[in-house]
Structure 1
């Protein structure tokens, strides 16, 4: 009797191990972050907002942002490819660039500046002794977005965070600059598997609300990089923009209620 019971248990166990993994457990979505130093982990008196985003989400967040990168250098170094290879269906990738994408493609090319234009325009440059065909900011974001979506994942195009808008002594923030508009337009062109969050607008709105002295305190070294407290505030501004838009692909995974986050819906 005992022998037959043991055999039955072993048979059931073997059947369970042979079953497709989807029959046993469902995989949780993962959120990947692609960006520059304003998003990346740092140390000391400054760090990026991507460090604090996990506190607002119930999903795993993998921060692939790295300082000093642009849409161009992130592509050239294979960092987008790393994310594209890792994502699985229903994962979400937040892409935010712009701080390092400007500049000139000249003899002093820093390897980050993009080609001017909004589409398929190209420029030829020499970087580190190697000839490189440089594309536009929208092209780099679009190519990455299409490849991510082709893997069954979703894309959130996020506008770049602003430099300290109180730097001149009075509050100054317009439309955020050309890279903000490019990110918005790319998200729209990618279709239903992409969405846009005006992170720059929501961050600037928060800084406006707290005033010059409190904002200045969040930029301990320069006008671009925030302190840990500033990074936390900037992360909440992203969540504010997300929640004010209905949550999008992260609806149901955000721990913060819209009204609990400082600032107003734009």
Structure 2
């Protein structure tokens, strides 16, 4: 498998990286104390940091720190429009791994853009190239004595006429589940968990979670928006809570590593910085 675009890595390193941590946690304690662990997120727009010009669109990685306790930081490398393939080919995996230290976690969620098989820069086949690219993330994390975690892609908001929540990711979640079993790495099945949650909430109840906006509701979307893929703050908080709880249930995180899993998180806690 050719990784011909790694030469772009240097330029891409200048792009913004959302790092939710204090300097002491990210780089070692004050006075040379113990360094906290970091959760590095590799993913697409559903997880990515959003900026003021996209608000109220919100990635679930922005809300994940609300549910983490102890010396845990989040380094959110997820970027809009990326697949398991393009994230590697653009040098973004290299940039992520440069910051990984022993004991860290590398959370990997791709699928939305891998499905765009008409685009040779992003599309993958679920049972061949998708798995091959995902193995690069596992290998890179393991080489740095970090723990890789595979996360199936969060579901879109799709309902049949009878109100049944519909899966939209084809064979990609199954391919990731099979790879996790083969490689013996933790799997957080957010696709299944989110599909069940959307079914519970129904078409009306899920609308407030996604970036559905009436005309004039946001200056960023003057004509309104009907987006069944990306989240508003409530949806990002919902998916982040689900992810944190699943990491605990899978014993990837210990009880001391999480907080507030059943607590109300006000949407006003989400903020959108200005673009760099």
Tell me the equivalent position of 1:70. Answer: 83
Distance 2:263 2:182 in 1: 30
Tell me the equivalent position of 2:216. Answer: none
Instruction: Note the C-alpha offset of 1:30.
Output: 0.7
Residues 87-139 of structure 1: CA deviation (Å, up to 9, x unaligned): 0100001100000002335xxx352111x3524xxxxxxxxxxxxxxxx0000
- Name the SS of the counterpart of 1:149 in structure 2: helix
1:244-259 matches, within 5 Å, as 244-245=249-250, 247-249=251-253, 251-257=255-261
| TM-score, length of structure 1 as denominator length | 0.74
Instruction: Note the C-alpha offset of 1:168.
Output: 4.6
1:77-88 matches, within 5 Å, as 77-88=90-101
Aligned residues: 216
Tell me the equivalent position of 2:121. Answer: 111
Instruction: Note the C-alpha offset of 1:149.
Output: 0.8
Distance 2:55 2:162 in 1: 27
- Name the SS of the counterpart of 2:256 in structure 1: coil
Distance 1:91 1:27 in 2: 10
Instruction: Note the C-alpha offset of 1:261.
Output: 7.2
Tell me the equivalent position of 2:61. Answer: 50
Tell me the equivalent position of 2:140. Answer: 147
Instruction: Note the C-alpha offset of 1:165.
Output: 3.3
Instruction: Go from structure 1 to structure 2 and tell me whether the alpha carbon gap of 1:113 and 1:201 turns closer, same or farther (over 3 Å shift).
Output: same
Gaps of 5+ in 1: 1-20, 120-135
Larger Rg belongs to: 1
Q: Relative to total residues, which structure has the larger helix share, 1 or 2?
A: 1
1:103-182 matches, within 5 Å, as 103-105=116-118, 109=119, 111-114=121-124, 116=125, 118-119=127-128, 136-166=129-159, 168=161, 170-174=163-167, 177-182=170-175
Residue pair 1:35, 1:95 contacting (<8 A) in 2 also: yes
Higher relative contact order (CA 8 A, sep 6+): 2
| TM-score, length of structure 2 as denominator length | 0.71
Distance 1:165 1:44 in 2: 23
- Name the SS of the counterpart of 2:202 in structure 1: helix
Tell me the equivalent position of 2:234. Answer: 229
Gaps of 5+ in 2: 1-28, 213-225, 265-276
Instruction: Note the C-alpha offset of 1:35.
Output: 0.3
Residue pair 1:157, 1:187 contacting (<8 A) in 2 also: yes
Tell me the equivalent position of 2:248. Answer: 243
1:177-188 matches, within 5 Å, as 177-188=170-181
- Name the SS of the counterpart of 1:53 in structure 2: helix
